[in-house]
Amino acid sequence: MKAKLSILLLCFTLVSWSQQKKISGLVTSANDGMPLLGVSVIVDGTSRGTSTDLDGKYSITLQSGAQVSFSYLGYKSQTIKVIDQTIINIALEEDANSLEEVIVVGYGSQKKIDLTGAISTVKAEDIEKTPNSNIVQSLQGKVAGLQITSNGSPGAGPTVRIRGVNSFSAGGGPLYVVDGVFYDDIDFLDNSQIESISVLKDASSIAIFGQKGTNGVIVIETKGGKLNSKPTFTYSGYTGYQRAQNVVKMANAEQFVTMALESGSQADIEFVANAIQRYGRSRINPNLPNVNTDWYREILRVAPISSHSLGVTGGTESATYGVNASYFSQEGILDMENEYERFNVQSNIEVKLSERFRVGANALFSNSTRLNPENGAWFQAYFAVPILPVFDTQNENATPTAFSDATLLGYRGAQNPFPVMTFNNNRVKQRRVLTSAFIEYSLIPKKLKFKTFYSHDYNTTSERNVRLPYFISENSQRAVSSIRRAEFNSSNQYWDNILTYTDTFGDHNLTAIAGASYRDQQFETLQVTGDDITGIDLESSWFLDFADPGSFANQVIGNGDRLYSIAYLSRVEYNYKNKYLFNATYRYEGDGRFPKEIWLGTGSIGAGWVISEESFMQDNGVINFLKLRGSWGQLPNGALTGSAGTRTVSTLTTAINDLLTNGIISTNNFTDLEREILEETNVGISAKLFDNRLSLEVDYFTRDTKRLVIPVIQPIAGNTVLQNAGEMRNTGFEIAAGWSQRLNKDWSFSVNGNIGTLKNKMTKINNNLGYLDTGSAEFRQRSILGEPVEAFFGLEVEGVYQNDTQVANDPIAVDNNLEPGDFIYKDQNNDGIIDDQDRVVIGSYLPEFTYGGNLQVSYKNFDFSLAIAGQTGNEILNRKRGEVIFTNDTNIDADFATNRWHGEGTTNSYPSSAGRRKAWNQRLSTFFIEDGSFFRIQNVQLAYTIPLKKLGENMPEFKLTFTAERPLTIFKYNGFSPEVANGVDRQTYPIPAIYTFGVNIKL
């Protein structure tokens, strides 16, 4: 059909001169009568064309006798000869197998029907609903097996895990492939630029991408014009505000003082007395100081967010173009200079020089400025005692601001978070240029083409950390100002040369690609700190030129690295009658960071059976499409720290006779790694039922990480060296189902849901211990064979000693001088002693279930959508509570203060205030491990399209939206948010709820 069309397009001779006339009409779906938006309506043999509007309407001028064709993705195209009709209404039939729907895979594209791996797609509309700087955030809850952990800090991206944790090594995020270019992050992309997103989950889908794709691949296509379409101008924007939700309730002054008095610590009782002396007595309760500070309330604020983007796309008969500019700004909810601002300009053009020659170029400039928060403020606000005010006018020595200081009351730490929030300024400017260009030439028309594709991602990041001088107390001061300037620049280049061969022999369809990909990744940094800045009060002086030149010594870091890699790749896709599918991939990749094994080859195979194409399945009335698929593949993981392969030297300095003196130090602990290899088997079913209304995707996978790199502690000196000494397995089910239906002319709805399960376990640990410890000694995480990676490892609390008799009757309690209000631990090995040998796995930070769902209802010009997301089965280490092991003269959350043991029968799960301070109760135990499950209303949006088209055809489309992002989260955990990427909650930037009002205009 397509081929026929394009031949027609070229046949200018077909155009006969006759009378100009105008036709209009409505294009609907034959299945449910729903109007179709964006159907291209093209006058055959000309460059004239248009597309249908939101109501499925179109109008076009043509010569009578011309043919006009209507085409839409996923539907069968129709061509109509215009003779004397003025209104042509068309009902397009859905293409049952969506044969035309194409998914971009590595170095090419594949018809969706031919896929044998696990790939999920997300529509652009769903992405635009999420007000966020980072596109990935909008995927939360939308893809089975994709876990997104949000980050509330402006401009900071979420943590993304596709099918769990498969490696210990850094760089656990997925690979982003934007219009064919590889990126480690997509901070530079604006939500409005996206055309489509595909999430590639299994090894066979990813194999062609090689070692960068181990943690999953997210393929993104940005908006571009279509051939033969008139310019379309689009504006979309929103503005709104963000508000912290689920703010942790801390003990107030009364609860805190009660805890202090009960603690039995004379020191803490004195601190309270000091506060009363300094700040006076409360008139309500004379035993309290006249201060009751809610620190979180003090440091939080309501913060604005807004976004604007303006773009135009279009195309002539031989060229397409797109230009887009967008601006995004977001302030942080931490009350300091904390914001993010980004301006992007993007353009792309693609030209068909001849039937054989195609060239294209894409350029994006992104300029962003981020003022980073002092995340320590969250930590300090948690611990700051409520009997300390923010300001203290009696603190006369303080300069420039009379902030209070807890050390003036006797506490160990200054506690007040405001000095760091006020006197620190952290700016990061990022400027990024991303360009790419390609030339494609058909060596054999329609069969063999060669494409050379070059891309360059040039990124400069300038950091400026300013430290202003201040004096609050002897223990909270900065005598000398300083500025740190850090310049990072990276240059990542790819050059791909790919041959693609496509052919059909009868019922046999074949596509084969072969090529080479060359990568050069350079990184350089220069970081300098200068002290004692002249004119520090003025931002115009925040340059190193104004620093004391003598202060630079030993405060300069300059380094860089360069990574080359070359890969040869190939893929074969074959199908017989679109019924039996087969594909195979092989990639041979060289990477200089692994001197032990520079070259590594990996591959994958996949097979599928489209049962619905079999004759016995035809016209069964229920199943429209059914495919069984299976795949196996290997992926090398190159996201590892490069190996040294040999002993290395570093420099250091020390004071010798008051002179800064240089020395060198060498290490005999060096890494010599091979790449990890992930092996995955995936089986699945894809189906469409009941007139394509129900769609279903089910997957089951097993993935093993072979040659897993683990930190092996070297004996004696405690340093660790990475070695290929482990194996890990992840298994899971993923189910995604959707139903969409048009009920009548006014009403339509769709429902989608997805569930992913995940089970992680260590299958091999080959070090001298047989297990692997991470975390710190106090907050141990241990990976044990058969247990999840980095499981929390500690004692199991069985209860709390309630009375003296109970203590006296328990030899363990007697041996350890315990009292009522102390924990009873389970003696796991029954040796009558509670010690480290009694520790067991007490939780995992990996969720067992992640789920999401989405309901969409349309009524006339109103569209309502509701998205949910959640997870269960993961635990969080409440490290804030655990911090008592280091400092206990601090505040505690209200939940603890309320539920503490304070007499027989008060609780069997919380220690007493005195007990909280005892080492016995501070050991990592189930008390500090909390349930991290949550359910969330992810997004609610109400949209109204103003029916301006009724006023005239040239009127724009005008849509208003009201969005609430994450308005409600339900969870039990005692913290701001149950979204803690690594499960250890020490200080987390709270995730705000966002409320926006938006406008979309299309002309």
Query: Which residue among 235, 379, 471, 749 contacts another protein (CB under 8 A)?
Result: 471
- Find the shortest distance in angstroms from Cβ 517 to another protein: 9
> Which strand (E) or helix (H) includes residue 379?
helix 376-383
Euclidean distance between CA atoms 748 and 742, whole angstroms? 4
Query: Which residue among 89, 620, 805, 887 contacts another protein (CB under 8 A)?
Result: 887
The verdict on 545 binding another protein (CB under 8 A) reads no
Name the residue nearer to another protein (CB basis): 312 or 514.
514
Of residues 770 through 789, those in contact with another protein by CB under 8 A are 773, 776-778
Name the residue nearer to another protein (CB basis): 100 or 796.
796
Of residues 621 through 650, those in contact with another protein by CB under 8 A are 642, 644, 646-650
- Find the shortest distance in angstroms from Cβ 918 to another protein: 7
Among 18-26, 126-134, 266-274, 783-791, which window interacts with another protein (CB under 8 A)? 266-274
- Find the shortest distance in angstroms from Cβ 898 to another protein: 23
- Find the shortest distance in angstroms from Cβ 384 to another protein: 17
Euclidean distance between CA atoms 172 and 214, whole angstroms? 9
Query: Helix, strand, coil % (nearest 5) of the chain?
Result: 15, 50, 35
Query: Which residue among 658, 744, 830, 950 contacts another protein (CB under 8 A)?
Result: 658
Strand segments, DSSP code E, in 932-992 are 934-946, 957-971
- Find the shortest distance in angstroms from Cβ 1000 to another protein: 44
Within 8 A by CB and 6+ apart from 539, the residues are none
Euclidean distance between CA atoms 337 and 155, whole angstroms? 14
The verdict on 716 binding another protein (CB under 8 A) reads yes
The verdict on 829 binding another protein (CB under 8 A) reads no
Of residues 919 through 938, those in contact with another protein by CB under 8 A are 919, 922-923
- Find the shortest distance in angstroms from Cβ 333 to another protein: 32
Euclidean distance between CA atoms 882 and 379, whole angstroms? 12
Strands 67-71 and 40-43 turn out to be: antiparallel
* DSSP state for residue 704 in the 8-state scheme: E
**Reduced to 3 states, what is the DSSP secondary structure of residue 719?**
coil
Name the residue nearer to another protein (CB basis): 273 or 970.
273
Of residues 582 through 611, those in contact with another protein by CB under 8 A are 590-593, 595, 598
Contact 915, 825 (CB under 8 A): no
Name the residue nearer to another protein (CB basis): 306 or 476.
476
Name the residue nearer to another protein (CB basis): 20 or 657.
657
Of residues 854 through 883, those in contact with another protein by CB under 8 A are none
Euclidean distance between CA atoms 458 and 460, whole angstroms? 7
Among 453-461, 512-520, 612-620, 897-905, which window interacts with another protein (CB under 8 A)? 512-520
Name the residue nearer to another protein (CB basis): 271 or 328.
271
Closest CA to 715 of 667, 765, 768, 647: 768
Of residues 719 through 748, those in contact with another protein by CB under 8 A are 719
Of residues 547 through 586, those in contact with another protein by CB under 8 A are 547-548, 550-555, 559-562, 564-566
Euclidean distance between CA atoms 941 and 127, whole angstroms? 12
Query: Which residue among 618, 768, 809, 830 contacts another protein (CB under 8 A)?
Result: 768
Contact 792, 843 (CB under 8 A): yes
Name the residue nearer to another protein (CB basis): 437 or 866.
437
Among 2-10, 625-633, 654-662, 852-860, which window interacts with another protein (CB under 8 A)? 654-662
Closest CA to 964 of 931, 1002, 944, 993: 993
Which spans in 135-280 are helix H? 203-206, 253-262, 266-279
- Find the shortest distance in angstroms from Cβ 646 to another protein: 5
Interaction mask 118-157, another protein, x per CB under 8 A: ----------------------------------------
The verdict on 354 binding another protein (CB under 8 A) reads no
The verdict on 951 binding another protein (CB under 8 A) reads no
- Find the shortest distance in angstroms from Cβ 914 to another protein: 12
Name the residue nearer to another protein (CB basis): 115 or 547.
547
The verdict on 278 binding another protein (CB under 8 A) reads no
Please tell me the count of residues contacting another protein according to CB under 8 A: 101
Of residues 397 through 456, those in contact with another protein by CB under 8 A are 397, 407, 410, 412, 441, 443-445, 448, 450, 452
Within 8 A by CB and 6+ apart from 80, the residues are 67, 68, 69, 70, 88, 90
Query: Which residue among 285, 475, 504, 534 contacts another protein (CB under 8 A)?
Result: 475
Contact 757, 765 (CB under 8 A): no
Among 8-16, 202-210, 268-276, 315-323, which window interacts with another protein (CB under 8 A)? 268-276
Among 36-44, 174-182, 222-230, 651-659, which window interacts with another protein (CB under 8 A)? 651-659
Phi, psi angle pair for 448, to nearest 5°: -125, 125
Euclidean distance between CA atoms 955 and 952, whole angstroms? 6
Strands 20-29 and 90-92 turn out to be: parallel
253-262 helix and 266-279 helix, angle to the nearest 10 degrees: 140
Euclidean distance between CA atoms 556 and 315, whole angstroms? 52
Name the residue nearer to another protein (CB basis): 493 or 906.
493
Euclidean distance between CA atoms 973 and 534, whole angstroms? 48
Name the residue nearer to another protein (CB basis): 432 or 780.
780
For 610-676, the three-class secondary structure string (H helix, E strand, C coil) is: EHHHCHHHCCCCCEEEEEEEEEEEEEEECCCCCCCCCCEEEEEEEEECCEEEEEEEEECCCCCCCCE
- Find the shortest distance in angstroms from Cβ 361 to another protein: 19
